[in-house]
Amino acid sequence: MPMCTPRSLALGLLLLAPCCARPAVYHVAQNHPAASDDNLGTADSPWKTVARAAQVAEAGDRVVIHEGLYREWAEPRNSGRPGAPIVYEGAEGQTVVMTGADVLTDWQRVPGDPAIYRIPWAARFIINTVDGKPIYHHPADDEHLRSGRAEQLIVDGKVWDSPQLVLSLDALEPGTFFPDVEHDTLYLRLPDDSDPNAHAIEGCTRGMIFGTDPWRRPEGFDHVWVRGLTFRYGATFAQRPAVWLLGKHNLVEDCVIEWMCGGGVGVGPEGGVLRRCVIRNCGHVGGAATGTRFLNEDCLWEGNSRKPISRGWDAGGVKICRSHHGAFERCTFRNNGGPGLWFDIDDADVVVRNCLFEGNEQHGIFIEISRDIYVTNNAFFRNGVRAEGLGGWSVAGLTLAESRSCVVAHNLFVGNKDGIALREQGPRYLDTPDLGDVPFRNVGHVISDNISALNQGYQLGLWYDAAFFGMHPGEREKHQSEEEFAATVQAEQPDRWFDPLQQGLLIDRNLYWAAEGQKLVLYGCPWRVRSREFADLPTFADATGF
């Protein structure tokens, strides 16, 4: 029989220790009189910062965060495991806020008039460097010199960012501020020229509040759950969340994400869950769980994309790209700038079910260059009514744009700009990981059993800006006649010539109700000669074959 020596026994116990160690419960309580990051993190001897807990917690551990306003960034060092996540949660019944802003005091008046005040300001938010020059705004074009920046102040509880931010000392007017990054100085002029030392002034100094990003840690962390916290005032750019659970099988639950300068929250790119969260008033897109095998349920997106960042580039309550196999269940998208929910660039196999889309600036849902999106049992009210001019063409409760094989069924559309719309500017070619190079255009959709009633434009709008309906105004100088144009396109660019009736579309069993004297259906964009409007379905069917 082999003998067990003290050395081998010690080695065996050492190897077993990590597997047998009991999960720990740590406490963070900044208001506790004995709180210190030098403590053990127990209920009686808690840590002062969430960041301290984030450096210690391991798989299976739970971090309970007690009442307080935590001005910090916490980046989890470790990952959990399947069945043993690391949980960060607010203490039951307590209000826990993590913020990217700090209190700004000791303002000094600049000599002379007007009443301009200043303080040292070391924060620099740089999105990129081009030819050795730092770029302070995203997107990096002149249109977004102000709205694309990450600086944000909170003045007596009111958020100031792009409307109040100016780019020179000479531009300071009442109710504005100037972050002079070249001289590490922040200038402020209040609306009534009063002394800011008599007011509550905060400035956003952190672009990340919880989590990490792919430039710092490409793999992120896995199996981390966050519950019951409020996150606000992050100095974020567009497309950069302040709360970013980057990795696999992470979860954000029962949280509030609000008033970020740019992006709000991101969970993914694999197995992410966003549940019962409120994402509101972020300067850019609110954010979501995205990537692959993701779930968003029982969440509210409200008032996001409040800054004037280009609606044609990236905007909305949520915009997702190249995300597959996911769902939005029982969610609300209300009063967001741009669309409520935007699928753009090869999103596939995503379900949107039992959701409400209300009062969004543009579409309730915009499905663009995507496939196999299933939209069922949702309600759409008053979306797109703020979209103006030709820039609002094809805006509707729901718009399918150059997409494939989507299902839109059992939905209610009332009071939107249009009810249901199909926009066609295809084909738009896209290299996909599973199908190769695909010519995206509206093919194979099933649109059935919906109610589209009392929408402001058309109850069904087929906004086909396509050669089949004749020349675009910009092509009329190139061709002698419509007949010559049609022959040329069919001979030289046959992929541009397609009859909507031949694209495998099923539009059936829908109920349409227009106001008296209002046209029911649009067939083709009005600036093309073969476009027509129809006041009733029999006439539309007889004329088109649908």
98-127 per-position pLDDT tens digit: 999 999 999 999 999 999 999 999 999 999
Query: What pLDDT was estimated at residue 545?
Result: 87
Phi, psi at residue 500, to the nearest 5°? -55, -30
* CB atoms near residue 15 (< 10 Å): 9
pLDDT tens per residue, range 209-255:
999 999 999 999 999 999 999 999 999 999 999 999 999 999 999 99
Rg (CA), the chain: 27
Query: What pLDDT was estimated at residue 392?
Result: 80
For residue 15, pLDDT over 50 is answered with no
Mean pLDDT of all residues in 476-499: 94
Half-sphere exposure of 104 (CA within 13 A, CB side): 28
Residue with tokens 């963070």: 28
Query: What pLDDT was estimated at residue 18?
Result: 45
Query: Alpha-carbon distance 425 to 41, whole Å?
Result: 59
Domain with CATH 2.60.40 in the chain: 101-204
For residue 428, pLDDT over 50 is answered with yes
Query: What pLDDT was estimated at residue 11?
Result: 43
Least confident of 45-54, 76-85, 352-361, 389-398: 389-398
Query: Alpha-carbon distance 232 to 81, whole Å?
Result: 29
For residue 5, pLDDT over 90 is answered with no
pLDDT tens per residue, range 284-334:
999 999 999 999 999 999 999 999 999 999 999 999 999 999 999 999 999
CATH topology of domain 101-204: Immunoglobulin-like (2.60.40)
Mean pLDDT of all residues in 389-402: 86
Domain with CATH 2.160.20.10 in the chain: 23-98+206-309
Query: What pLDDT was estimated at residue 274?
Result: 99
Query: Alpha-carbon distance 269 to 323, whole Å?
Result: 8
For residue 13, pLDDT over 80 is answered with no
Does the structural domain 23-98+206-309 have CATH classification 2.160.20.10? yes
For residue 95, pLDDT over 70 is answered with yes
Query: What pLDDT was estimated at residue 386?
Result: 80
Average pLDDT of the residues of the chain: 95
DSSP secondary structure string for all residues of 65-111: E-SEEEES-B---S--BTTB-EEEEEPTT--EEEESEEE----EEPS
Query: Alpha-carbon distance 134 to 453, whole Å?
Result: 51
387 — pLDDT class (breaks 50, 70, 90): low
Mean pLDDT of all residues in 470-493: 94
For the entire predicted model, the pTM comes to 0.94
pLDDT tens per residue, range 162-175:
999 999 999 999 99
Query: What pLDDT was estimated at residue 388?
Result: 57
- In eight-state DSSP terms, residue 501 is G
